[in-house]
Structure formats: structure tokens, C-alpha cells
Structure 1
């Protein structure tokens, strides 16, 4: 069984436990549930959520399952599922049974039910002590070839969700500097607006292209350049242009994470939403969700972030979102990305 692009082969439950953090981008905490959808023994989708706390009324678990099932069903065609829970036997095993029954009732075959407790993995579907001993199977990612191959393939498993968020959240170490640069950039944009929105858009074309080109050439943006870019991104056509020019690869994810991290707080929504879209197109749903949530923390009414988060929670593929936004928000003024700008 292999991941679709990186060709990592999973041969055992221990391999799977090692692989899960690379699938979702971080190590799940206790109380997590991970549902993995397969197509002909190839992993095509993984979703993580938090289980209700022990002692929580049963309907909370039913509500969680009612949300997960349609999300997984949208990944059709799939042939079977593997479900992994993290935590104590008393908390995880009953929840796994309920979730297993709910998925099975819909016609989805659950091939594996696994619990990870500390450094051991236990199977709820296999009673053969030769492969699934009752005391559990030790899991040591430091000695697993899965971890080695995942690292070589460029996959990263961060310690927790906070470590994912640290990629794009500011520590405010240069807050005063970026705020001053943003104030000057805002005044510069206001002066440009006297010439009309076309002038702002043309400046945005130049700023976005130059910024991406600098990043591709390993040239960091100055605070003034970050401030000017993020101010121009408040003009929706410029933001949409940035989405169009951004490519679905890790380098551009890193770029927009850096811009979001360095942006003045009030200007975070636009770059955070571009980051979310880019991460989603790269298959990093966790980062995409967290970046969209970051945009909405700053501006709860930011429309594109709302739309994106709804699509992510529904388990839709990026292509469905792109088709919807293209038909709903056409922008014929955006030039062909392969056509050089007159200002370059």
C-alpha cells in the first residue's frame, strides 16, 4: 500500500502508526481520531478530528461521526478505510467501535481499527497474536524506514498543531518595524488610488510577480517590500492575481507562510487566505484549515476565507473550489501569468 505521489510503502500496523503524522503533518495528540481512506490499497485521503472527552454525552460522538462520514464519502471511489485512535483503551476503544459501526452501516468497509497508546499500537480487528499481540506492538519512529523514506520524500511530521501554526504566526519581534513600514505603504497606496484602481492593480501585478521571483531566487523580502505587498493585497483583484500566479509547490507554501507571519496584524487575512489555498492545492489540508482560521481570527467576515473553510470542512477537492470561485467571481482583468508585465 503506497501514498499516491511519494511511494511510501506501508506493510504493517506499526508502519501505519509511523506514517500517520506524515499524512496529516503533525503528531496527533491523545483524544485524536484519524480516518484514512484507501483506493485499491493506496492511501488517497486522511482526516483527523478530536474525539469527545470521556464522559461526554453519546450524541457528541454521533455528531462527530455524522460529520466524518459524508467527508469520507466524497473521496469516492474508495475501497476501504483504516481508523486510528490515540489515547487510553477506556477512551478510545468504545469510540472506535461506534465509529466503525457507523461507517459500516453506510456500506464503507473498515479494514483496520487501531489504537495507539503511548509507544504501542493495538488492533481491534485482528486477534492473531503472531502479528497483533494483546500487549500491543511497539512503535519506534526513530528506527522505522517509513520515517526515513518520508523525510527523504520531503514530508514533515511536526510535533503538534502549535508547531504547524508557528510557520505563519508572528512572534511580533519586529512588530514596530513592520507597523511603521505598513503605515508608509498605506499612504503610498492612498496616493496611488488618486489615479484610479487600474494604477493600484498594475502596482499589485508588479509587486506580486517581483516578490515571487525574489523568493524563487532565494532573495528575502525586506520589511518595506512585505508591507507594500500586503497593503496591495487588500485590493481584491491583486489578491486574486496572487492566487493565480502562485504555484502548488512547497516553495510557494513557504513563501506565503512567511508573508503571513511578517504581515501587520490587520493585513493578515489576504496572505493567510492565499496560503490556505496554496497549502490545499499541495494536499496539506491541516495547514490550509489553520491558515483560513487565522484569516478569520483577524477578520471574521473575510468572504474568501469563509468559503474556503467551508469547502475544507466538507472534504471537497481543490478543483471543486477553483471551479466555484471562477464561475462566481470571474476577473477578466487579471493578465495571463505567462505574459510579461509592462512594468517588469
Structure 2
């Protein structure tokens, strides 16, 4: 789920399809369903899901459609939506019809139903050959003005979800060996600090978080010892919560937490991965946020903050509702 942060001028179905990868953060694959939500002429929200396999029971499609419709209805104010299915006719068009009926029953007006395949766009709502020829509308996203606008605005569309996840993939080889040694030393140091009491540990964590963010904002890369010490102290919830408060909804802090997540030792990943997810979510990058929080939960399924964030993301809640909670 993504909330667009930049303005792209969409004048046609081809423009909208060209914009989707930049709205999502990656190019959807065949078998994807994308819902683009509008408030009049402004795109306010984008959601993506995986269509069931061809021939799957209708109930599976209905369940997906009902979930997407609930998510869309939470995005207020909205006027209508465009539903885009990616793939061949047999797989996509019957599913689009089911999703259309579910959205209509949920009082979500549908502006258009589009199918995209082989660089062609087909409208299931328009039968005017002047604008929607039977053979589809040919488009090339590489030469689209939308791509030029998005690139100029600093927006990036990764090839797929795997490329998004690669932003926080763990370092390996000599870098991993160095981080393992540094983390062992940090754990020993933290054990000695705990003898001084909880307040001393929290104060050390607060200093580490502030110093790390300041150093990154100054364009300086953290050393292995600094990252190791930070990740060890982030295991204390009060330190992690302070880091959440100090993290700004800015790309530089998304980059910071992605780097810390990459370098953290495996058991220490959940805290920085969750902070990465929170930062990405606040920047409108729902794809990165969801992948990062899933990464945290894969390592520690009971990590409470990550579980709460995953629920909020799947429900399509805006960041303001999550951060405004007492």
C-alpha cells in the first residue's frame, strides 16, 4: 500500500499505467492487481495484490476484492478508483469482473477497468474504437513523459519486489565477519554497562542514536563499532522508541535505517528493520515498509511493534493514525 508523495500529471490510461511503477515503487508482475484511488483528479492511494491462479475458486477472488475494497474505503476523501490487472485475458478479465462487482457493492465507484499485457492496455469499460481500439493501446513506459517527470522528481521504480528488498539485504563476506566481531565486543560492553542500571543503558542508547543520526545527516558513514553498539542498544524498547521519535519522514533516514539493517547481526535485525519500515511508510513507500516489517517478523515473529505495524499496513491505515496513538 502506498500513498503518493509527488505530483505526476496523468492525462490518459497510458499515463496512468506508466505511473503505477513509480506510485508503487516497483514494476508489478503478471498476475498483479493494482487499485489506484482518486480524490477527483488527484491520486491519493495505491494498493497491489496477487491474483489467484487461473481457475481458482471464485471465493478466493472475492476475498481478495473484499479486502482491497475495505482498504480503499478507509482512504478518505475518495471519489473513484481505477482497477488494473496485469496478465493475459484468461487469467485477468474474469477476475477483474469479480473485483468490479465487489467494489461496486461496497459503494466504491470504478472509473475504469484496465488490463495490461505485452505493452498494450485494454479497457473493459470503454468500447469506443477511437480511444480504445480492440487491439489495445500500445504504450512504451520507457519513452513516456510520466517516466521523465518521475525521474526528474527523484522517484524510482525498481524492477520488482526483490529489488526493493535488496535495499536492506544483509552484508556478507569480509563485511559480515567484521560486523560479527564488532557486535561481540558491543554485547560484552553492554553487559558491563547493565551493572550501572537501566538509566545508564538508556542514556547510552540515547547518545548512540543521536550521534548516529547526526553523523549520517552530515554525510559520514558509521563504522562497524558504531553500528554494532547501536544495534545492541536498540534491543531496549525505550531506546528503539526514542529512535522512532528522532527518525524524520525523509529519504535520508530511510537510507540510514536500510544501511543499519543490512549491517546488523541476524538476531538484532528486528529493531532497525522496523524503524526502516516506519520511516519508509511515513515517506509514502508502502512496498519497502511492508517488506522491511515482514523481514523483522521473519526473524522474530513475536516482535510487537513490527506486528502492530504490519497490521496497520495491511489495513491501509495512514501513518498519522499509527503515530497519533497514545
Please state which band the TM-score falls in when normalised by the shorter chain: over 0.9
**Could you give the per-residue CA deviations for residues 210-263 of structure 1, whole angstroms, max 9, x where no partner exists?**
111111111011111110110010011100000000000111001101110111
**Residue 290 in structure 1 maps to residue 291 in structure 2:** yes
- Offset of residue 40 of structure 1: 1.2
Q: Contact (CA 8 Å) 2:4, 2:23: kept in 1 or not?
A: no
Q: Distance in 2 between matches of 1:4 and 1:25?
A: 10
Q: Distance in 1 between matches of 2:36 and 2:141?
A: 19
**Residue 208 in structure 1 maps to residue 217 in structure 2:** no
Q: Distance in 1 between matches of 2:143 and 2:315?
A: 36
Q: Distance in 1 between matches of 2:171 and 2:224?
A: 15
**Residue 143 in structure 1 maps to residue 128 in structure 2:** no
Q: Contact (CA 8 Å) 1:4, 1:42: kept in 2 or not?
A: no
Q: Distance in 1 between matches of 2:236 and 2:274?
A: 14
TM-score computed with the length of structure 1 as normaliser? 0.92
In the alignment, what sits opposite 1:51?
51
In the alignment, what sits opposite 1:165?
165
In the alignment, what sits opposite 1:315?
316
- Offset of residue 195 of structure 1: 0.4
1:166 match: secondary structure = helix
Mapping of 1:205-244 within 5 angstroms?
Answer: 205-244=206-245
In the alignment, what sits opposite 2:186?
185
Q: Contact (CA 8 Å) 1:14, 1:137: kept in 2 or not?
A: yes
In the alignment, what sits opposite 1:276?
277
**Could you give the per-residue CA deviations for residues 190-215 of structure 1, whole angstroms, max 9, x where no partner exists?**
11110011111111111111111111
Q: Distance in 2 between matches of 1:261 and 1:45?
A: 29
Q: Distance in 2 between matches of 1:229 and 1:89?
A: 52
Q: Contact (CA 8 Å) 2:80, 2:108: kept in 1 or not?
A: yes
Which has the higher mean CA deviation after the structures are superposed, 52-61 or 241-250?
52-61
Closer, same or farther: CA 78–292 of 1 in aligned 2, 3 Å: same
- Offset of residue 66 of structure 1: 1.5
* Aligned structure 1 segments of 4 or more residues deviating by more than 6 angstroms: none
Q: Distance in 1 between matches of 2:124 and 2:215?
A: 52
Q: Distance in 2 between matches of 1:141 and 1:64?
A: 28
In the alignment, what sits opposite 2:25?
25
2:324 match: secondary structure = helix
TM-score computed with the length of structure 2 as normaliser? 0.97
**RCO higher in structure (CA 8 A, sep ≥6):** 2
Q: Contact (CA 8 Å) 1:168, 1:257: kept in 2 or not?
A: yes
Closer, same or farther: CA 176–5 of 1 in aligned 2, 3 Å: closer
In the alignment, what sits opposite 2:156?
156
**Could you give the per-residue CA deviations for residues 91-130 of structure 1, whole angstroms, max 9, x where no partner exists?**
1111111101111112211001001102111111111111
Q: Contact (CA 8 Å) 2:273, 2:296: kept in 1 or not?
A: yes
Q: Contact (CA 8 Å) 1:123, 1:132: kept in 2 or not?
A: yes
Mapping of 1:40-189 within 5 angstroms?
Answer: 40-173=40-173, 174-189=175-190
- Offset of residue 323 of structure 1: 2.1
In the alignment, what sits opposite 2:259?
258
Q: Distance in 1 between matches of 2:155 and 2:260?
A: 22
Q: Distance in 1 between matches of 2:148 and 2:197?
A: 54
**Could you give the per-residue CA deviations for residues 141-167 of structure 1, whole angstroms, max 9, x where no partner exists?**
111110011011111100000000000
Unpaired runs of 5+ in structure 1? 328-344
1:131 match: secondary structure = coil
Which has the higher mean CA deviation after the structures are superposed, 29-38 or 103-112?
103-112
Q: Distance in 2 between matches of 1:242 and 1:112?
A: 43
**Residue 38 in structure 1 maps to residue 38 in structure 2:** yes
